[in-house]
Amino acid sequence: MTHKDIPLKERIILALDVETAAQARELVKKTESRLSFYKVGLQLFMADWFNTVDWLVDRGHKVMLDLKFFDIPETVKLAVAQLREHGVSFATIHGNDPIIRAALTEKGAVRLLAVTVLTSFGEEDLRAMGMTQSIEELVYFRAKRALELGCDGVVSSGLEAGRLRAGLGDRLLLVTPGIRPGANVLDGADDQTRIMTAGRAVVSGADHVVVGRPISKAADPLAVIEAMQQEIAAGLS
């Protein structure tokens, strides 16, 4: 497998899943010596609108805006157009055909990521919804379709990364959430179902890994980041 030439500081996208802009900025200042890519999700965006996004871009960082746009196509089109003025690098949308087509018309330089299946979902959740295929099959189908329509990439767990990379090639941008330090991956005490270590996810084919609480809640966030980066570097070598 050929891995893309992505700076180590950008391999980990730190999720700023906090309540206030002040908390987000404090976390960025603690970690920006080792990271340069941050995720702004729905909670922080609702609290601070584009202010934290603009602040991050002004500091030279990349931003993944994770709002998972899902609405009528015209509304999604107009919402995506708003991102172009704010220097957003990645934005997430739901992988519905009309939504993808609408978003593509206004994306500009923003790289669009279609959400496949949330990492909080497991096989039992799919069965409860009356779906018969496996999560891996569903993720692959949605990712293939998103790529065919022109999406830059997808969001999926590391458990599906190998299949996606092998079947869809290097053109696919693959961003993987549900990342946990090795000691916590199999302890069962997690609200994410499909999880993996940073090193294994990248080796499996992920371009970037999204990490939140394992870093933000750590007593020493820089030590956790360093350990994950060492895992990633070892896997890439």
Domain boundaries, the chain: 8-236
H or E, element range at 179: none
* Catalytic position from the list 4, 29, 30, 68: 68
User: Rounded CA gap, 179 and 114, in Å?
Assistant: 19
**Contacts with 101 (C-beta within 8 Å, 6 or more apart), sequence order:** 73, 149
Q: What are phi and psi of 64, to 5 degrees?
A: -105, 115
222-223-228 Cα angle (round to 5) = 95
pLDDT class of 195 with cuts at 50, 70, 90: confident
The highest-level CATH class for domain 8-236 is alpha beta
Q: Collapse the DSSP code of 162 into the 3-class scheme (helix H, G, I; strand E, B; otherwise coil) and give the result.
A: helix
Q: At what angle do helices 21-31 and 221-236 cross, to 10 degrees?
A: 60
Residue 189 has a pLDDT of 45
**Contacts with 88 (C-beta within 8 Å, 6 or more apart), sequence order:** 53, 57, 63, 64, 65, 110
pLDDT class of 2 with cuts at 50, 70, 90: low
For the stretch 46-74, pLDDT in tens is: 999 999 999 999 999 999 999 999 999 99
User: Rounded CA gap, 134 and 138, in Å?
Assistant: 6
Look at residue 225 and tell me whether its pLDDT is greater than 80.
yes
Average pLDDT, the chain: 92
Known catalytic residue: 68?
yes
Tell me how far apart the terminal alpha carbons of the chain are, to the nearest angstrom: 12
For the stretch 83-142, pLDDT in tens is: 999 999 999 999 899 999 999 999 999 999 999 887 777 778 778 888 788 889 999 999
Return the biggest CA–CA distance within the chain.
Answer: 47
Look at residue 185 and tell me whether its pLDDT is greater than 50.
no
pLDDT mean over 152-172: 95
